[in-house]
Chains A and B, each alone.
Chain A
Amino acid sequence: MTTKGIENVNPQRFVKKTKREVTTQEEDESVKDPIDEREIFDLLRDISDPEHPMSLEELNVVQITNIEVDDHQNSVKVFYTPTIPHCSMATLIGLSIKVCLLRSLPPRFKVEVNISPGSHASEEAVNKQLADKERVSAALENSNLLEVVNQCIVKSLE
């Protein structure tokens, strides 16, 4: 994968956010912390890009402002922005985000992963693929794809 055909050799990079500070509320046993945008962002920020040794946060692919969470209605929506409009890795990045969320969020949530409107040439097709449960699980049956997805996610766990 690394030897040939990188599409965007020189992408723009961004400065990383600092770690979320632990509040006294979070340390208080009796308070229930709701699942919020920042929590979702923290799950995703360190996933690495399949092309670059940089995180999705550094490339501005995932931004906290593009995440919508409703803890009561059990919905999580993530809009991500590929670095260039014809990026062929877009589906793969979306898949990594989706897989990461499916593994680490409670099953009560309906997880939607979409490309930010207007940021990719084949936006609709990719969104459709990512929304299709069957296709997502079929993709993960493919050991090559699974390997790439896992490699992207594994760095976010260190």
Chain B
Amino acid sequence: MVTPTSIQKLRDSLVLQESMSEAISIVSQSIASKDITVLQLVENLQPELLHQQAAYRCRAVSTIASILEQLTPDLKGINEKEIDLITEFFCSKLKDHHSIVPAALHGLHILSSASRLSPGLARSIAQAIFQDVHCQSQLQHDRRTIYKTIKNLLALHIGELQVLGQDFVFGLIQAADQERDPRNLLILFSIFPVVARYFRLEPFTEEFFEVFSCYFPIDFTPPANDPYGVTKDQLCEGLRQCLASSAHFAEYCMPLLQEKLESDLVSAKIEALKTLELCCLSYPPTQLEKWIDTFWKCIRREVLINVNTEELEHASLDALAALSRAFATNGEFNNLAFTKLLKEILSECQGHLCEPERRLMTPSSYVLLAICSGNAPACALIVSQVIPLLTEQCRIRSQSAPRQFILNCLNKLVQAGLYGFTEIDVAQSGIYPLIPALLELYLEVLKEDDALLRSLSLQGLGHFVGIGMNHEDLEKVNQSLLGLLQQPLTTGHTVEEIGLFFYKCAEQNESWFVEQVLVKLLDMAISDKANEIFRLLRTLPPLPRIRAQVLSQLMARLEQSEPELRLEMLKALAYFAQHDELQMFHQLHNWALETLKEGDPPVSLEATCNILRKLASSLSSEDAKQFINEQIDRYIDQHLTSSAWVVPIMEATLGSLDAIPVGQNLDKLIKTLEPLTVCHPKTDVRISACRLVAALINKIPEGHELESILDSLRTKWQDPSADRSKTVCLFVWISKALLMRSYSKLDQSIQELVESLNDPTHGYLVAEGFKTILCETEQCLNFDSHANIRLMYRQRFFQEVVPRLLKLYRESPSCNKSACFAAIANQLAFIPEGVLVAHITTLIPLLIQCLNLEQPDQLIISTITAFMGLISDNVSAIEEYISSLVPRLLTLAKDGLTMEVRRLALRCLSELRKAQSVVLLPLRSEVILRLIPCLDDKKRLVRREAAVARQKWTMLGQAGCE
């Protein structure tokens, strides 16, 4: 027989003990393409496989396994018969020298993942492993291979393994017993539930249960920098699934859980309760009922007697809900034990519910709600007994506080009674006969003066909308709400609650709501409560009929109203205005132009512009073009000559449309706006003009036209005779417009921006402009107003500008340092953390220098804010700088000029507690000492921050604070 060259190569490297990966991949490719067969391979490797030295044999077996591994998942190029033989081969190798076992296991693991094993093979693999390998004397890695093999076999060939029956269970018990490695346990915990479900465990049930129950409750802390990432939660979850996997475990599991519930360890109790919750799903009621009293004792102790962490309380209540669910039956109670217990609980809790001023009232209501949540008959019983009791309690009490507690509890029960179950069960939940009395109570409370009680009553009433309340009731409620709205004392929070109630009504039945409520509301909108009504309108759902009604009414009234009312009306209009409202746009636009006069702008200008902007941005580009053609001349020749305040309106419309003026129109517009951008005396007009020009620049296609406009603008902002503080604004906005669209000559603009930071008087203004450049603006240059925005322009700008700023700072000693700092600090809030981290080592030392009493307050504030952002997102990035940061913060905290600086510095010191204690501890005594003067700051708000910071640092490293 001729040895194929590929195998020859493999043998050579095997003998020479070279790296074999190349040879292995060649051979596996030849097998896959059927140039050679596996049998040929094995036969050719015979000298090595039969070698006297185990090390040689081991290498040969492991080589074959590696070749097979390359052919997974479907063992390409190997036929059924060959698979049989190769399986037999690996099984027989398990009997060989102990050093060869791992390689053989590796081979079997690969075979186990193939779905094409012929009948009987899976069984032989399992048997061979159980018989010939003593699992627990293998290394962790090899035990893992065994478990993974079993898991694969269970997943693909469970039928065959079931034939092995008890032998398999016994084998698995032996293999898995005393496993200690968390990685392996995770695999085992996924195997056990399958075995428990599909295998007959008798007579090994208890032994099998012991194999995993001995880990309960899991106590595991992953080592620091654990590369495997096994967490305690994963293990707990896995083990819980095992314990709850079969009803046969009940007799062993229940005592175990009870024992852990008695323990002193909170974590053990929580684990036991969570497991109990899961067991309730799989264990039959007959098993649970023997233990129900015991478990209730434990749960009662945790919820009603002891005072516990929220987690333990939640776990207890969840377990109780699960228990109640386990006893849920379709009709009556047919479980005596549960019924007896329920009555007992009910009578105890009823006692507590009658003492609403005491602590136990709330937890007992939670207990009842938990029972309600799972079990319809129990819910019916509780609802029918407790609701009348609470209604009565609410009537006989006069103080506000206990009544608040009662109403709160009542609302939750009403919700449970109405929504806990499906529609059919609501009828059974026992709440229907109680509804009239409840409505009466809620309506009574609504008439009282206590705002807190009123809003609780409204919450309760809200539950009944659409379920359990007929038209008559609803009308009654709405009448009292409308009456309530007219009362002078009804404000703020109550109006909000009424709005929520109306929202639900409107959603339920829109046309009824429009006819019965909305019409009356709109009528009331001229009274002295108009402000509240408009605010309420803004909380209604924008459904078509409601919208139509509100819009037509408000547009009609806009002209006659008081100026203050107009603002509220416009806000309501803005809420309801949607797209496709061409007519409304023109109407409002004309109205806005008419309101303009010389002198101060009308108060409603800003609100009107907001709506115009919204409507303008939604016009189609045809409508937009038409509007431009009609309006440009009128804007420039008529309106601008009478009032400059038309500029904000122009900005709102022209800046947001999906089209720009072209040709002569554009020329004329820019020529008109240019002088306004730097010369107009009113700041608002000037900035508005700058923004409009920027919005246009952003949209004009690149080319000759754009260049000439830019040139002309450049002469404006570079004009040495102009007021620099005004030209900076134009310059910044134009830079923003160009930056967003990734203009081809952007480099030049950025360089100009960086250089103008050097201006000794106005450099700081430019630095402030960095904020404008990066922030999202509401008025223009955003996606809604069809601006030309390239993705990630902020990051690109930051990457471009930071090196130049650093260069400027380092190379020109005379540069305006504070402007340089500010330019950096102002960008930080807008840059994603990932980009920031790359620059952090160069930037942080600079930023720390900004924290200096000589720097302007604004700079200090934005720098501290940047640091706080870093602390909350990624504190580890700045840990190495903390020792130089803290002393500067301490100085600012004591001597900062404004209280804002002092407060922020103190808050930043508090936030630093998020860093690792190891880093902070060396600074602790200094901080505690130097914070003392801050405790006596003359401003109360600063003192409050100082007290928090000092307490936090005092407790650093002490018991009870980690």
Contact = CB atoms under 8 A, between A and B. Distances in A.
B357 A107 contact: no
B929 to A, nearest CB: 11
A32 B938 contact: yes
Interface string B746-776: 0000000000000000000000000000000
A87 B947 CA distance: 29
Interface stretch (A61-69, A123-131, A140-148): A140-148
B582 interface: no
B270 to A, nearest CB: 13
A106 B307 contact: no
B355 interface: yes
A51 interface: yes
Interface string A31-46: 1110100010011000
B511 to A, nearest CB: 41
A33 B947 CA distance: 15
Interface in A101-127: 103-108
A107 B932 contact: yes
B814 to A, nearest CB: 34
B308 interface: yes
A104 B309 CA distance: 27
A12 B306 contact: no
B452 to A, nearest CB: 9
A41 to B, nearest CB: 12
A79 to B, nearest CB: 21
Interface in B924-944: 932-933, 935-936, 938-941, 943-944
Contacts of A11: 358-359
Contacts of A15: 400-401, 404
Given A6-B306, A150-B955, A106 B936 contact: yes
Given A35-B943, A106-B935, A146-B960, A53 B307 contact: yes
**Secondary structure type dominating chain B contacts:** helix
Given A29-B939, A147-B960, A103 B308 contact: no
A6 B308 CA distance: 12
A2 B309 CA distance: 10
Given A107-B932, A146-B958, A9 B404 contact: no
A14 B307 contact: no
B402 to A, nearest CB: 9
Given A12-B357, A29-B899, A146 B307 contact: no
B960 A151 contact: yes
A8 B950 CA distance: 33
B955 A154 contact: yes
Contacts, number: 105
A2 B306 contact: yes
Given A6-B305, A33-B939, A150 B960 contact: yes
A146 B959 contact: yes
Interface in B327-379: 352, 355, 357-360
B938 A33 contact: yes
A100 B948 CA distance: 10
Contacts of B950: 103-104
A51 B307 contact: yes
Nearest to B938: A32
Contact of A3 (B306, B940, B944): B306
Nearest to B951: A103
Interface string B307-321: 111100000000000
A148 B935 CA distance: 25
A137 interface: no
B396 interface: no
Interface of B: 264, 266, 304-310, 352, 355, 357-360, 400-401, 404, 898-899, 932-933, 935-936, 938-941, 943-944, 946-948, 950-952, 954-955, 958-961
27 contacts: A2-B266, A3-B264, A6-B306, A9-B359, A9-B360, A10-B359, A12-B359, A13-B359, A22-B941, A27-B941, A29-B939, A31-B938, A32-B939, A33-B938, A39-B943, A42-B944, A51-B307, A52-B359, A100-B951, A103-B950, A104-B948, A146-B958, A146-B960, A148-B960, A153-B955, A157-B948, A157-B952
Given A27-B941, A107-B932, 4 more contacts: A10-B360, A22-B941, A29-B939, A54-B359
Interface of A: 2-3, 6, 9-15, 22, 26-27, 29, 31-33, 35, 39, 42-43, 51-54, 100, 103-108, 143-144, 146-151, 153-154, 157
